[in-house]
């Protein structure tokens, strides 16, 4: 199984998040879950709009265009064996370097 973390597709067992990440420490981030049926994201445009609205509301910069999000999601779907699945995205503010 794969994940997309910090710009790279990685096996789940290789993914790590810093304990200093503001999402980990304070829940400072945005989460979106997109169900997929038959290998196709359900209401993807609506989910992307809600993600953009949520990121804007908490003043986190949206890191990707809609096309890039769609490409990333399609690649994740391709890498997973199940045709019915859920894609989740967690966007955080990252961590402050002291």
Average pLDDT of 7-13?
A: 89
Hunting for tokens 């999000």 — which residue is that? Answer: 69
3-state secondary structure 48-95: HHHHHHHHHHCCCCCCCCHHHHHHHHHHHHHHCCCCCEEEEEEEECCC
At 6, is the pLDDT very low, low, confident or very high (cuts 50, 70, 90)? confident
What's the longest Cα–Cα distance across the chain? 46
CB distance 64 to 75 below 8 Å: no
At 18 the pLDDT is 87
Whether residue 93 is predicted with pLDDT greater than 70 in this model: the reply is yes
User: When comparing pLDDT for 80 and 85, which is higher?
Assistant: 85
């Amino acid at each position: 199984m794969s994940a997309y973390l910090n710009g790279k597709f990685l096996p789940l067992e290789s993914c790590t998040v810093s304990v200093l990440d503001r999402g980990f420490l304070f829940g400072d981030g945005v989460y979106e879950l997109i169900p997929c049926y038959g290998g196709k994201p359900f209401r993807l445009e609506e989910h992307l709009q809600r993600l953009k609205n949520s990121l804007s509301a908490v003043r986190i910069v949206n890191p990707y265009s809609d096309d890039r999000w769609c490409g990333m999601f399609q690649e994740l779907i391709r890498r997973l064996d199940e045709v019915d699945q859920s894609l989740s995205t967690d966007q955080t503010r990252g961590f402050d370097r002291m």
